[in-house]
Structure 1
Amino acid sequence: MAMPAYVSDRFQLFNRATSDESEWHWYGPINTLLGYLFPPQEYEVAPQYKGPVYPGSVDFTTLYIVRSARGSSKHPICFIEIKPAGHLQELAARSAADRQMRERFDRLIEGLIIPKLIGLSAIGSQFAIYEYDRASHELTPAEISRDTRIVNDTAPAARWTHDFLDGGEGEAKLLAVAQSIRELCDAL
């Protein structure tokens, strides 16, 4: 099943090659996509913004947390961290994106209700899937440690292998991930 045209059409207006996080027109299409994947009758999509860490820095994080709106309490069921497409070619930017994903899991797994928490790291339309298993406490993909003597790639670009705008495998993978998350919620 393909995404409807109204979802994919929203992404045609943004600049895929930018590394500028101030490209606000990217967030509207993400809202539309998440609203399609997680209908508001059953889920809540909550955008969050984290400001710069250092004075004068323009780097900020945009995160969408999806919560189940079923039952008496809202709890996280997945999240997506978004970075500009240009970051895919930057070693430091990919490394920062990987660290932010791992830190986000640290914050969201406390009191986790579902058996698995899935996080998507989107750099432009390319995405990587991170998964935390509540029973084993395992987070995949495994962290690549920084070498103490040489500069090594702790977050290879190949990690962001899926493209949710490709109309093929990447889109199918995103739809399958969303379906598996909804099934985890249904099983509660």
Structure 2
Amino acid sequence: MDPHPIAGVVWYAIGRFYEAQDGSLQDLGYFAHLGGIEPLFAGPHHGEGSAFFTFRAEPFTARKFQNGDLSVSLDATGSFTLYLNREPCGDFSRPETFSRGEPIATFQRLSSVVGTSVGPLGTNLFSAALRSSTPFHFQGRSWNLERLLPHGITQLGVASTTAMTPPTGFKTMTPFVGSAMAAGGSVRWP
């Protein structure tokens, strides 16, 4: 397993942002592509309930600004973990299901994340360094995201600004997709 080419697309993430009653945020979801690992889904139906690989961020807070018709949020640095779910059970109405698997990697965002919304769409861009990685076996192969993504990722996200009905304990829930590229070079921690 060789490192992904620098700036090569390494994952497509499908997820949701959740805002808790206390105003803290978190994002979680699953992968539709993950660096050549196959299969990503159990069975023919592709979605959170059949995804072998999921992610969940630690809760964070965001500062919000307005610039004309642009809504801007500045998310604090934080971490998110990727999980292998040998028995997929993801359910967007139960956020805890996305962190039930085996932790296989943790990433740390390198700086604040600026998200911008206008009309029905929002975007964000961030880089994250790989903080830890655990080797794992899946479908007869050995994997380690440290070998695949030694310098981390840069992800561009697109989200809807239309809130969905959130599960109990949350004020809002909005869907997003993220496309990540392999980062190159050495990482300098802030």
State the TM-score bracket (shorter-chain normalisation): under 0.3
TM-score (norm 2): 0.25
Q: TM-score, normalised by structure 1?
A: 0.26
Q: Which has the higher strand share?
A: 2
More helix, by proportion: 1
